[in-house]
Structure 1
């Protein structure tokens, strides 16, 4: 989801010198998208390109149209629409994750936000990339029937926003102690925004035209369980910290079609999940943990840098892409900076170098 009101990227933290850094991937979701996100890596990084093409090919004609929209220098169609944002976010997150894996970084954990959790599941082997892409498209088609809605990022705690919740407006994400996202139908969300402003609480819309992670999506998602049940599901090969449970994804949860079918309408507990990741045995307190944001923007990086464990020097935060659109050169420069940071943290020591111009 979009970053906290008034927030922005901060300088990367530093890991402890002399010790190799262990990698955990952070995979962003709705609200992080922007035109041509990561397009500067396409046809430059072979592994990234192949992973993107795998998703586009799996989706057939709609995938070819999605690829054209993604690579277009200018497009009259908004990228905030779920039908385009969700599969593209999944594809970019997954492809960047595959790129990091190909470098030999061997992530010890994955933490996805919203549709980023589907990318995490595919990277961990719960689903094949093609099956996960189809599930993302299926949920997007279903939520298209939901009432016009959206999401609202509020610079406040869950307790502070409780008076502004109601039958239609609910907490959609807990991103940080003072960064809560509300979700609901457009009119109800607009009224909540006015009341928040009157109370002196800062808010701003998330780039979404759907009330993701809200119970209002429930009726639209009926039947989704059967679609998930029709594809193979496996225990994760890499530990996935679920934004739904704020805990490592169990094998029975990964295999449960209902778990994935309900994921688009349940709150994203990103900060509690990050807490669990950083506080886990062998976590940031034992060895430096390199948190790599494998997706567009730097919102999750900005949030992670404010975590007490990271601020104490228990690890560092490395985004792979720019914080805002900047063209192909900016994509490549950001990736080069990330590679330097990963090497400095010991996460790529002795590994095969990525392909960069």
Structure 2
């Protein structure tokens, strides 16, 4: 395949930005070592955030990256460094989307938010979520092996115990619940009785993407009002609605709603497939979204960029012959 035909093949794809949980020690080391643009972006991030993010993303340990207020800007900066590397090589996706936190780099990629605004917002988002974790005890659990409506029914049945809601529609047979710990446990028991293969408690610090997070929404909404939001220059699909974002003001509102609303990732992927998009590129650390795309759309072609080998392969494919 020539460089030009490869580039053409890669233009009809969805650029997918991963969310929290994709961080890992050393995740930006190869970026900063091989690509000057990555070093430039991380230097800017260090200045904007007032923390040594570039050091944390190259030499920080797992415990440093586990802190929500650090993990969120770390993933955002790493994802946007990969994005710029690919863009400089000629990458032209048909649309972009992000899973929860991943919506922030997706908004930058679509021209809605500046790089600096995205970093400031995710830093505050992480800080507020860390505060919520201390104030709002709760849990999240992934249910595997039954359709989403079965998980919704389990949450409804367990609501007599406490708050429990669907938080993520990740793939047709994987749905995440969020809420008060006893209610989440009860919903898990109901789901297993209904035929679920497994219910796995997630290693998270708070019950994200449910109504229990409403206490941090007001402060975050006030911060959103201080930043400029432009209309998208690239098709952008929101994980809050599973549909396209039509303007900057809508994007601002959706980021506020995202804190308490579920992630509609299955709808995002299916909407992208109508574009039509047949290829899916995960831009940033990890390979979770690539797996979700393959299991949701069985004909999907996926690529990830979370390690040197995979990023180099895609970068090379984008170069002219």
> For the superposition of Structure 1 and Structure 2, which TM-score range results when normalised by the shorter chain?
0.7 to 0.9
Q: 2:309 aligns with which of 333, 339, 353?
A: 333
Matched, 1:168 2:157: no
Superposed displacement of residue 46, structure 1: 1.6
CA distance in structure 2 between the aligned counterparts of 1:174 and 1:279, rounded to whole angstroms: 19
Q: Please, which runs of 5 or more residues in structure 1 have no aligned partner?
A: 1-15, 322-330, 352-357
CA distance in structure 2 between the aligned counterparts of 1:17 and 1:49, rounded to whole angstroms: 27
Q: Are residues 39 and 183 of structure 1, via their aligned partners in 2, closer, same or farther at CA, if it must alter by over 3 Å?
A: farther
Q: Are residues 74 and 273 of structure 1, via their aligned partners in 2, closer, same or farther at CA, if it must alter by over 3 Å?
A: closer
More helix by percentage: 2
CA distance in structure 2 between the aligned counterparts of 1:36 and 1:232, rounded to whole angstroms: 32
- Normalised by the length of structure 2, the TM-score is 0.86
Match of 1:88 in 2: 74
CA distance in structure 2 between the aligned counterparts of 1:335 and 1:21, rounded to whole angstroms: 14
Cα offsets for 1:262-308 (capped at 9, x unmatched): 2122111111111011112xx14xxxx43110122111111112344
Q: Are residues 205 and 48 of structure 1, via their aligned partners in 2, closer, same or farther at CA, if it must alter by over 3 Å?
A: farther
Q: Are residues 185 and 79 of structure 1, via their aligned partners in 2, closer, same or farther at CA, if it must alter by over 3 Å?
A: farther
Superposed displacement of residue 38, structure 1: 3.5
Superposed displacement of residue 35, structure 1: 2.4
Q: 1:113 aligns with which of 99, 103, 128?
A: 99
Report 1:202-241 matches (<5 A). Answer: 202-241=198-237
Asked if the contact 2:86–2:315 (Cα under 8 Å) also holds between the matched residues in 1, the reply is no
User: Stretches of 4+ moved more than 6 A in 1?
Assistant: 16-19
Q: Are residues 295 and 261 of structure 1, via their aligned partners in 2, closer, same or farther at CA, if it must alter by over 3 Å?
A: same
Superposed displacement of residue 107, structure 1: 1.8
Asked if the contact 2:10–2:91 (Cα under 8 Å) also holds between the matched residues in 1, the reply is no
Report 1:1-357 matches (<5 A). Answer: 20-22=9-11, 23-60=13-50, 63-64=51-52, 66-72=53-59, 74-75=61-62, 77=63, 79-146=65-132, 147-155=136-144, 156-165=146-155, 166=159, 167-197=162-192, 200-201=195-196, 202-251=198-247, 253-254=249-250, 257-280=252-275, 283-284=276-277, 289-308=278-297, 311=299, 316-321=301-306, 331-339=307-315, 343=317, 348=318, 350=320
Count the aligned residue pairs: 306
CA distance in structure 1 between the aligned counterparts of 2:23 and 2:203, rounded to whole angstroms: 8
The structure showing larger relative contact order (alpha-carbon pairs under 8 Å, at least 6 residues apart) is 1
Q: Are residues 142 and 334 of structure 1, via their aligned partners in 2, closer, same or farther at CA, if it must alter by over 3 Å?
A: same
CA distance in structure 1 between the aligned counterparts of 2:66 and 2:164, rounded to whole angstroms: 20
Superposed displacement of residue 194, structure 1: 4.6
CA distance in structure 2 between the aligned counterparts of 1:145 and 1:335, rounded to whole angstroms: 35
Superposed displacement of residue 122, structure 1: 1.3
Q: Please, which runs of 5 or more residues in structure 2 have no aligned partner?
A: none
Q: Are residues 44 and 277 of structure 1, via their aligned partners in 2, closer, same or farther at CA, if it must alter by over 3 Å?
A: same
Asked if the contact 2:229–2:248 (Cα under 8 Å) also holds between the matched residues in 1, the reply is no
CA distance in structure 1 between the aligned counterparts of 2:312 and 2:35, rounded to whole angstroms: 12
Q: Are residues 57 and 78 of structure 1, via their aligned partners in 2, closer, same or farther at CA, if it must alter by over 3 Å?
A: closer
- Normalised by the length of structure 1, the TM-score is 0.78
